[in-house]
Every structure is written in C-alpha cells, then in structure tokens.
C-alpha cells in the first residue's frame, strides 16, 4: 500500500472595504483606536482594514463575503469589534481545513497619518489568525487629494490573503 502524502494547495483572496468618516465615532483600524476627530460610520465598529481582510480570507476559501456572514441587519453585530468578526472568520477557516499563509493590506486615508500604529495593527491581526506578525503587512497611503477619499470624506482598505488547504 502506498503511503499518502500531505500537501498544501495555496489559495488567494482579495478584499476591499470603504466607509465614510463622521463626527462622533472612534476611528478604529486594525483593532486599534487611532486618535482622530472623526471615525468611520458603520453597523459594527466600521474597521475597514479588518473588513477587507475578512473578505480576502473568506474569498480565498470561497466562503462568501463579510455581509453574508455578518449582515448589517443583524442586531448581534451592532457596534461589535471587528476583531471579533475576524476571530469568527478564522474559526470558519479552520473548520473548513484552511490555515492562513499571509496577509498584505493597504489603508487609504488622507488624515490622520497612521504609520506609527501599523505595527500594533499587524500584531493584533496576527494574534487572531495564529500567524507571525511578519506574515501580516499593513501599509498606508493617501488618495493624493483626489476624489472623495482625497477630500477626507472616508477611508478605504484593500487586502490580499493566502490560505493553505491541507489535504492528504
């Protein structure tokens, strides 16, 4: 009888999210509260970075999107920390036989500058996903004053994730 070998198949997913900036809300990115006069409007804490990462992970596993799993019509998710949503996505991935390879992400925000918070964001994300912080990249850029993001009306994030599908 031939010995079965374990193998990994790499899968990739892309995520994107955008929310408007408004007065009276905290600015939460990557699970960190960033000092700002305005925060992101949304049903949960509106953390665009974690939402984009959730979508990238779910997409890589072909498990739908964040709206399917955490609809904004469900009162359970009102004001919830997006770190909790990321934890639920991670449990779903594990249940389906996946482990996270790496995450690369970019936050698009005119102001405030978030560079000094990105290392903590990386650690938050890595901790939830059970990977090393060096497997998580969080970058920041502006929209160079172009369009609604450039006028400071909102914040967006993009992410790509790799998953390993373990088989025999």
* Single pTM value for the model: 0.93
CB 57 within 8 A of CB 12: no
* Burial of 69 per CB tally in 10 Å (0-12, 13-18, 19+): middle
CA-based radius of gyration for the chain: 17
Predicted confidence at residue 3, as pLDDT, reads 55
Divide the 168 residues of the chain into consecutive groups of 10 and give the mean pLDDT of each group.
62 98 97 97 96 98 96 91 97 95 97 96 98 98 95 97 82
Predicted confidence at residue 166, as pLDDT, reads 73
Predicted confidence at residue 55, as pLDDT, reads 98
Instruction: At 14, list the tokens.
Output: 């892309």
Pairwise CA distance, residues 50 & 158, whole Å? 10
Predicted confidence at residue 8, as pLDDT, reads 74
Q: For residue 99, list its beta bridge partners.
A: 164
Distances (CA, A) of 66 to 47, 51, 56, 87, 167: 12, 7, 9, 12, 26
Pairwise CA distance, residues 16 & 65, whole Å? 10
Instruction: At 136, list the tokens.
Output: 């998580």
Predicted confidence at residue 165, as pLDDT, reads 85
- Kindly list the structural domains of the chain, giving each domain's residue range(s) and its CATH number in brackets, ordered by start: 7-167 (3.30.1330.50)
Predicted confidence at residue 65, as pLDDT, reads 96
């Amino acid at each position: 009888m031939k010995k079965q070998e374990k193998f990994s198949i790499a899968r990739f997913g892309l995520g994107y999210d955008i929310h408007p900036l408004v007065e009276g809300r905290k600015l939460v990115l990557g699970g960190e509260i960033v000092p700002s006069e305005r925060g992101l409007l949304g049903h949960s804490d509106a953390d665009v970075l974690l939402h984009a990462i959730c979508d990238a992970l779910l997409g890589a596993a072909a498990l739908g999107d964040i709206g399917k799993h955490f609809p904004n019509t469900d009162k359970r998710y009102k004001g919830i920390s997006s770190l909790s949503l990321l934890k639920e996505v991670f449990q779903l991935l594990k249940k389906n036989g996946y482990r996270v390879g790496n995450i690369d992400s970019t936050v698009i925000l005119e102001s405030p500058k978030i560079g000094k918070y990105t290392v903590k964001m990386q650690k938050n994300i890595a901790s939830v996903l059970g990977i090393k912080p060096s497997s998580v990249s969080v970058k920041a850029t502006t929209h160079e004053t172009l369009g609604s993001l450039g006028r400071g009306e909102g914040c967006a994030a993009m992410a790509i994730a790799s998953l390993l599908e373990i088989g025999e």
